Amino acid sequence: MKPLPEKVKGWIGNTVITEKNVITVEKGLWQNFCASVEDGNPLYWDEKIAKSYTGRLIAPPAMLPSWVVHNEWDPKKENLNRPMELHFLLKEALDLPLGIVTNIEMKFYEPVREGDRISSEQQLVEISDEIETKLGSGRKWNIEVIYKNHKNKLVGIQNMHFLGYKK
């Protein structure tokens, strides 16, 4: 069994990747998404109804991770992080070229609204010893992503469980 690299040990329990204010939340973007999946929830569409429940329109909670994903190209930046960059850094550090998501858990707090700018922090929660699976040898890990708005209010927490492996 290979020992866990010191660099990876240092990541456990710490913020490794921070994404700040990647995209400003826009009603047109979330309504395009809702139209594509035929989601007619009035909290996303109807100002009058939304006002009585949430104060004003809100973005669909399931879109939360999309507000911190960079475009594949940006004229102002040379090196852009990949979505879930910490997962890719782990695969590279552990020489595990393949990986799958095995479980995702989301908790939502303050609603996301038009004009919000969302930031995220990716933290390595835990990592297993080496294991053998039907897919090959590898390790399991859990990454927690904490999302906050530009007012530093918690809007969500996502826990993603992965299996990194090689055949």
Domains annotated for the chain, with CATH where assigned, are 6-166 (3.10.129.10)
Report the pLDDT value the prediction gives residue 74, as an integer from 0 to 100: 74
The reported pLDDT for the residue numbered 106 is: 98
Q: Is the pTM of this model over 0.85?
A: yes
The list of the chain residues with pLDDT below 70 reads: 79-80
For position 109, what pLDDT does the model report?
A: 98
Q: Determine the Cα–Cα distance for residues 95 and 88; give it in Å rounded to an integer.
A: 10
pLDDT of residue 165: 98
Residue in 135, 139, 99, 114 with CA at minimum distance from that of residue 43 = 114
Per-residue pLDDT at 32: 96
DSSP 129: P
Residue 140, Ramachandran bin (φ over 0: left; ψ between -120 and 50: alpha; else beta): beta
pLDDT confidence of residue 88: 96
